[in-house]
Amino acid sequence: MFFRLLSTILFLISNFLFAQSNQHLIKENAPSIFINCLFCDLNFIKEQIPIVNYVNDRNDADINILFTSERTGAGGYERTAIFFGQNLFNGKNDTLKFSSLPNESENITRDKTVELLELGLVNYLSKSLVADEIQILFKTQEQVKTNEKDPWDFWVFRTALNGYLNGEKSYNYLNLYGTISASRVT
Angle ∠(166,170,177) on CA atoms, nearest 5: 30
Q: Is 179 in the same domain as 128?
A: no
Domain match, 104 and 160 both: no
What are the pLDDT digits (tens) for 46-101? Answer: 999 988 999 999 999 999 999 999 998 888 899 999 999 998 899 899 999 999 88
**pLDDT at res. 114:** 93
In a domain, 141, yes or no: no
54 shares a domain with 109: yes
Does residue 146 form part of some domain? no
Does residue 8 sit within a domain? Answer: no
43 and 116 both lie in a single domain: yes
pLDDT at 45: 93
* pLDDT over 80 at 8, yes or no: no
Residue 113, amino acid:
T
CA quadruple 55, 60, 64, 66: dihedral positive or negative? positive
In this prediction, residue 83 carries a pLDDT of: 95
Q: Please indicate, yes or no, if residue 93 is contained in any of the structural domains.
A: yes
Q: Residues 6 or more apart from 166 whose CB is under 8 A from it? A: 172, 173, 174
Average pLDDT over residues 161-177: 84
Q: Rounded to whole angstroms, what are the CA distances from 6 to 12, 13, 14, 16?
A: 10, 11, 12, 15
72 and 128 belong to one structural domain: yes
- 103 shares a domain with 58: yes
Q: Is residue 145 part of a domain?
A: no
Let me know whether 127 and 159 are in one domain.
no
Enclosing domain of residue 167: 155-184
Same domain, 92 and 161: no
- Provide the pLDDT for residue 63: 94
Q: Quick check: is 170 in a domain?
A: yes
User: Into how many domains does the chain fold?
Assistant: 2
Q: What is the pLDDT of residue 10?
A: 47
User: Is residue 62 located within the same domain as residue 115?
Assistant: yes
44, part of any domain: yes
Q: Which residues partner with 127 through β-bridges?
A: none
Q: Is 53 inside any structural domain?
A: yes
Shared-domain flag, residues 171 and 114: no
Tens digits of residue pLDDT in 109-148? 899 999 999 999 998 988 888 888 877 777 777 666 666 7
Closest of 141, 151, 148, 81 to residue 109, by C-alpha: 81
Distance separating alpha carbons of residues 110 and 102, to the nearest angstrom:
14
